[in-house]
Structure 1
C-alpha cells in the first residue's frame, strides 16, 4: 500500500511540478531558435466559427478589422454552425468591409464549420480564431512572424483571461509550459481561440476531435514544428459560473483524448523523441492525474495510524475541503487564492477523470457549444 501511495504522489507531482523543471533543463540543452525570413508575406485568411454568437460577433469583427494588416493581404470569413440567433444580421453589417459569411445547413459541430471555411479560403496561411477572444492590435502580424521560418507549420497565440481566478492561474501555468516546449521543439497544444497554420498542412477536421490539438499533431507528424508566439496576445473573459466550467472541461478533454488516440503513433519515443516525452508528460499523465489522486487518498487512508501518514492524510483532507468550499461555498470565500486554486485543480482533474471514463466507454462529441463568457 505504501508503494501505491508514493508512486501515485510522485506521478501527480511529476505531471504538475516535475515536468516544468524537466522542460527548463531541456531548454538549456536543446534550445531551437527560429530563423525567420524578412520577405515572407503571403495572403492570410481568418476563419471565425460561430454558433449563436450574436451578442459578441460585432465587437469581434470590429476588433479584427482594426488589427495591423499583413502585407500579403487579408480576408475574414465567418462560418455559422446553423446559428439561430442574430449572428447573421450582425455579420451583415460588415459585408461592405469585405467580411464573408457562410452557414452550414444543419448543426454539424465546430470542425465542420472550420472545414467549410477552409474550403472557401484563399490564403496561404489560415488563422483560426473564436468570437470570444479580442486581440491586441499587433497580434495578427506577430502571430505570423514565426511562419517565416520554413520549419514552422503552426503557431499558437496566447490567450489571457481577465479576472479568471483559478482559471486564470491555470491558464498562466499552461502558457509557461507552452513557451518552454516551444523553445526545445514543438508545443503539444495550441490556443484553440487563436492560432495559425500553413494551408498546405490543414487537413479536414474530424468529428469528435479538438481542432487545435489536431492541427498541432498533424503539423508535427508531417515533420514541421508547432510553436507559440508570446507577443500574439488575446483577451477573454472568465467563464462566469463556477460549475459551468466543469462540463466545458469534460468536453475539451474528451475531444483531446479522442484526437491523441487517432494519432497514437506520436506516442512512440523511438520515432518522435522529445515530442513524445511532451505528450506523455503534458497530456497522458495529466489526464490520469485524477485517478492517481484517488489512489493517493485511498492508500493514505489505509495507512492511517502512523504519524507521518496521519499528517499527510490531514493535508489531503484539508486540500479537498478547500476545494469543496470553492465549489459550494459563498463567493466571498471562493475568491480567495487559498480556496480557488484547490477548487480549480480538483475541477480540472475531476473533469479529466470523467472524460477518461466517457472516452473508455466509447462516447464521442460532435456538436459544439461555445462557452458563454
Structure 2
C-alpha cells in the first residue's frame, strides 16, 4: 500500500512539474539551441477578413471602424461577417456602415462559430484569411505583420498576440499574469518550430490550407493550426500583431468562457483522434504536454494532495507537501474574503491558479453533460 501511495505522490508531482515548468523550459531550450527563424517579407496579397458573430450590435460599429484603420491597401481587403442567429440588429448595422468591401451572411438558426467560419471562408476571395472576433481592437500594423510572416513559404498560419488591458481586480491581474506566461510558451514553441494553437482573437493563414471544420467544433483556434501543421507548414507567433481585450474581473465572469474552452479540448480528441497519434501528429509531444496534461492537472493535484496526506506521518517531505497545500489554500481563501489581500502578487497568482484548475475539473463534467458547447 505504501509503495502505491509513494508512486501516486511522486508520479503526480513529476507530471505537475512537467506541465507547468518542465515543458516551458524544454520549449525555451529548443528555441535557444535549435532556433527556426521566420524569413519575413513585406508582402501585400489580397486578404479576406472573416468574422463570425452572435448578437454583436453593441460592438460591430467599433470593430468595422477598427478594420477600416488597418495599415493595409484598402483595395486588397474584403470583409465577410457571418451573423449566427443574431437576435439584434448586427446585420443591419453592418449594412449601414456603407463599406462596399463588406459582405454580410445572415443565418436565422444559431449554429455555432465553426459553421459560420465554414460558410464565411467558402465565399472568401483573398489569398490570405484574417480571422478575428468582434470584440477585440486590433493594432493598425497587425495585418501587415501577420502577412509578413506568411511571406515565408514554410509558414502556413500565424497568430497575433492578445493583450489584456484594464485589469482592475486581483483575479483579473492573476489571469493577466497567467496569460503572459502562456504567451511566453507560445513564443518559445514558435521560435523552435510551431505553436500548438493560435489566438482566436487574431490570426491569419493561407486560404488554400483551410479545411472545413466538423460541425460543432469549439476550438477552431487549435484544430485549424493543427491541420496546417499536418499539411507540412509551420504555425508561428507574431508579437508585433497586437489585439486588445479586457479580462474578466471576477471568477464568475470567467467561469463559463473558460469551462467551455477547456471542455473543447475533450471535444477535440473526439473530433480529431489523429491528434493522439505520434505517427500522424507532427506536434504530438507539444500537443500532449501543452493541451492534454493541462486537463489532467486538477486531478493530478487531487492525487498529490490525497497521497501526501496519507503519507504525512511517514516522512517530513510528505508532511511538508501537506503544509504547503494547506498554506496555499488558506491564502486563496484569504484573497477571496479580503479583496485588498487578493491584489498582492503571490495571492493573486495562487488565486488564478486555483480557479483555472477548478474550471479545468468542471470542464470534464461540462463536456459529458453539455452537447451544445459550440453555441457561444
Q: Tell me how far apart the structure 2 counterparts of residues 264 and 25 of structure 1 sit (CA, whole Å).
A: 29
SS at match of 1:191: coil
Q: 2:9 aligns with which of 5, 9, 14?
A: 5
Q: What does 1:295-306 correspond to in 2, within 5 Å? A: 295-305=303-313, 306=315
Residue equivalent to 1:335: 343
Deviation at 1:364, TM superposition (A): 3.5
Candidates 10, 15, 24, aligned match of 2:28: 24
Structure 2 CA distance for aligned equivalents of residues 240 and 258 of structure 1: 28
Q: What is aligned with 1:190?
A: 198
1:238 maps to which of 237, 247, 269 = 247
Task: Give the whole-Å Cα distance in 2 for the aligned partners of 1:137 and 1:29.
Answer: 34
Question: Is 1:78–2:81 an aligned residue pair?
Answer: yes
Relative to structure 1, is the Cα distance of residues 365 and 221 closer, same or farther in structure 2, using a 3 angstrom cutoff? farther
Match of 2:175 in 1: 167
**Residue 185 of structure 2 aligns with which residue?**
177
Give the 3-state SS of the residue equivalent to 2:28 in structure 1. helix
Distance (whole Å) between structure 2 residues aligned to residue 267 and residue 89 of structure 1: 44
Which consecutive residues of structure 2, in runs of 5 or more, have no partner in the other structure? none
In the TM superposition, residue 356 of structure 1 has moved relative to its aligned partner by 2.8
Select which of 257, 261, 264 maps to 1:248.
257
> How many correspondences in the alignment?
365
Please, which runs of 5 or more residues in structure 1 have no aligned partner? none
Query: Within 5 Å, which residues of 2 pair with 1:102-113?
Result: 102-113=105-116
In structure 2, which of residues 342, 345, 352 is the aligned counterpart of residue 344 of structure 1? 352
1:54 aligns with 2:57: yes
**TM-score under structure 2 length normalisation:** 0.91
The correspondence of residues 1-373 of structure 1 with structure 2, limited to 5 A, is 1-38=5-42, 40-70=43-73, 73-96=76-99, 98-162=101-165, 163=167, 164-206=172-214, 207-270=216-279, 272=281, 275-305=283-313, 306-326=315-335, 328-359=336-367, 361=368, 363-369=370-376
Structure 1 residues 366 and 272 mapped into 2: Cα distance closer, same or farther (>3 Å)? closer
* Rounded Cα–Cα distance in structure 1 between residues aligned with 2:317 and 2:89: 61
Q: Is the 8 A contact 1:27 1:183 kept in 2?
A: yes
Cα distance in 2 for residues equivalent to 1:368 and 1:322 = 36
Poorly superposed stretches of 4+, deviation over 6 Å: none
- TM-score under structure 1 length normalisation: 0.92
RMSD value over aligned CA atoms?
2.0
* 1:88-132 deviation line (CA, Å, top 9, x unaligned): 333233133532222112110111121221122111111110111
Question: In the aligned structure 1, how far is the partner of 2:62 from the partner of 2:74?
Answer: 24
CA shift, 1:270, in A, is: 4.7
Confirm or deny: 8 A CA contact 1:255 1:364 kept in the other structure. Answer: no
Q: State the alpha-carbon separation in 1 of the partners of residues 342 and 24 from structure 2.
A: 27
